[in-house]
Amino acid sequence: MFTILQKYLKRPALYERTSELFWNDPHIAKQMLAAHTSSDTDAASRKPEFITRCADWVASLDLPNGADLMDIGCGPGLYTKQFAKRGFRVTGLDFSENSIAYAREHDPSSNYILQSYLEMDFENEFDIITLIYCDYGALIPDERVNLLGRIQKALKPGGLFLLDVYTPLRGRDKRDSTSWEISPNGGFISEKPHICLNAEYFYDDVAEGCRTVIIEEGQVRCYNLWDCYFTKQSLHNETAPFDFSVVGFYNDATGTPYTDDSQTLCAVLQKGGA
């Protein structure tokens, strides 16, 4: 046990992945769905007022009537349901069984696909693809390269890709930190009695990493989660090789005008755009 813990309590290398699948753990998946569908917090999904403004803004973009929209990482369909109400032909895609089941139950007008967006395979099918709530930055560089190729292929010529990310301001002046908690009756991360060791690590203006170590009777699990930072220039540099040009930059996914003091950045990109 000491040897295992000693390994996990070291600062991870930048972008280091762990073998455990955080989002697909059955207990965590149930807790995440509850967090997504709660209107009292924006810890998992943003609050309803933000989602409504986001859908209104997306509907105002230069798109054909009844445009084909795919929301990847759609979760329980909070955005997709609003997009459908505004006349889009909507496809939602997510790898969480719980979330897709919830979305299908609460939004029968949209099409929902249970699949990882890192494995999707569409060609010239969508007028716009959305990836919202900084999910793009949760991917490490090779995963982002994979995703950009799949999105570029899935979009129709001239189609739009809308995404939001964190900026380096999110981690500015923050320092590495650790904490721990004891849950004798189980909790969010595990239904079993456990001790949870948490650490946040900051890698200059590049990324932040969250390492969670769960110690249960007879086993130790470790999860590394990443949030990568982007500027307008770095996001443009990363997406331009995939034939994306910038339509506009904004502070968030409601179209708030861009300023240089925001912790979030939203980009609207165009496939083969001028």
> CB–CB of 100/80 below 8 Å?
no
The region that residue 233 occupies, defined by phi over 0 for left and psi between -120 and 50 for alpha, beta otherwise, is alpha
pLDDT per position as a tens digit, 94-114: 999 999 999 999 999 999 999
- pLDDT for the residue 255: 98
- Sequence-separated (6 or more) residues with CB below 8 Å from residue 231: 167, 168, 265
Strand-pairing partners, residue 264, are 166
> Is 209 found in the same domain as 184?
yes
- Sequence-separated (6 or more) residues with CB below 8 Å from residue 100: 92, 94, 112, 113, 114
Sequence-ordered alpha helix ranges (H) in 87-140: 97-106
Q: What is the pTM of this model?
A: 0.91
> Is 145 found in the same domain as 218?
no
Confidence of residue 39 (pLDDT cuts 50, 70, 90): low
Rounded to an integer, what distance in angstroms lies between the CA atom of residue 163 and that of residue 212?
27
- pLDDT for the residue 274: 44
- Give the residue numbers spanning the domain of 200: 2-21+170-227
> Is 82 found in the same domain as 7?
no
Mean pLDDT, the chain, as a whole number? 92
pLDDT per position as a tens digit, 202-238: 999 999 999 999 999 989 999 999 999 999 999 999 9
> Is 83 found in the same domain as 12?
no
When divided into structural domains, the chain yields a total of 2
